[in-house]
Amino acid sequence: MVSGANDSQTPAIVSLAAGGVAGGIEAFTSYPLEFAKTRVQLRSQKGIPTPKNPFLVVTQVYKNEGIRALYKGCGALVVGSIAKDGVRFLFFDQIKQSFADPQTGTLSPLRNLFAGMTAGVVASITAVTPTERIKTALIDDARTEKRFRSGLHATSVIWKEHGLLGLYRGFVGTTLKQASATAFRMGTYNILKDFETKRQIQQNTATNFANGSVAGVVTTLATQPFDVIKTRSQSAHGASTVEAVKSVLLDYGVRGFWKGTSMRLGRTVFSGGILFTSYEAAVKVIQPLYDGLGRKEGVGAV
């Protein structure tokens, strides 16, 4: 589990709640960089090239459209991240507890990656694909037709025009991204943490943040093509996975599959540190409350 051998019996409800809190904090604080990355990955408007520098994208949008524009689609991402990270921390922790070495509470690197991959697939099905679809559609629509008034309105319009499948547009790309990203992010974080635990390296906010940042770098470099395909599939009008792949190759060639890498790196290094630091802190707050409630009501751990 994420918190190390000593916490191997963290109840499922604690993993779910702490993951949700961490996901919401991470999504909100890093959203402007996510916004910039998505803008770059979408097809450029004719005659209006999109800068490669994420901070320049943020600056231009702020000057031309105001601060609210930088948070277009943020609500959908925050809601999705609360659900996504709650689910994937829950499943990752439960899978890790099942396969961990009973003596040390740790997993082999391969099993760490497998646990993360499984958690990513579940998260994509239950939360990530529809909320990412709404977020991406809102960002794309804001620079073109401007027909979506809010996340709820976008959801309603897409549902009326395309049904449930419209909300799951880009499911293949999103699931590939989530499976691989969660495998690398949570796998790398836990490999580093297990390594430190065995060598009795003290775990604190600094080490949590550093481990999360390293995990973010590994995740970005390994999974960027899936992220680009997902973004193209989930534009305002949508596209199939095959159409998305073709459009990237047509626009930029093979190098296009790493479009937005610098922007995503800037976000994942920052957000990876925030996510795992927030999770560890949330567990420390929620676990005693849960234990106290359990003792008061005579309820055992889930």
Q: How far apart are CA 119 and CA 97, in angstroms?
A: 13
pLDDT value, residue 207: 92
Parent domain of 37: 5-297
Does residue 167 lie within any of the structural domains? yes
Does residue 262 lie within any of the structural domains? yes
* Radius of gyration in angstroms for the set of CA atoms belonging to the chain, rounded to a whole number: 20
Give, as one character, the DSSP assignment of residue 45. Answer: B
Does residue 182 lie within any of the structural domains? yes
What CATH number corresponds to the domain at position 216?
A: 1.50.40.10
* Residues 6 or more apart in contact with residue 232 via CB below 8 angstroms: 41, 42, 43, 239, 243, 244, 247, 248
- Domains contained in the chain, number: 1
Does residue 241 lie within any of the structural domains? yes
* Residues 6 or more apart in contact with residue 87 via CB below 8 angstroms: 16, 19, 119, 122, 123, 126, 127
Does residue 264 lie within any of the structural domains? yes
pTM of the model: 0.68
Does residue 302 lie within any of the structural domains? no
Does residue 85 lie within any of the structural domains? yes
Is residue 192 pLDDT above 60, yes or no?
yes
Is residue 295 pLDDT above 60, yes or no?
no
- How many Cα neighbours within 13 Å face the side chain of 77? 22
Poorest-pLDDT segment among 19-28, 207-216, 238-247:
238-247
For residue range 103-141, what is the model confidence (pLDDT) as tens digits? 766 778 888 888 888 888 988 888 888 888 888 888 888
pLDDT value, residue 9: 66
- Please state, rounded to an integer, the average pLDDT across all residues of the chain: 82
In a 3-state reduction of DSSP, which class is residue 48?
A: strand
- Residues 126 and 20: beta-carbon distance below 8 Å: no
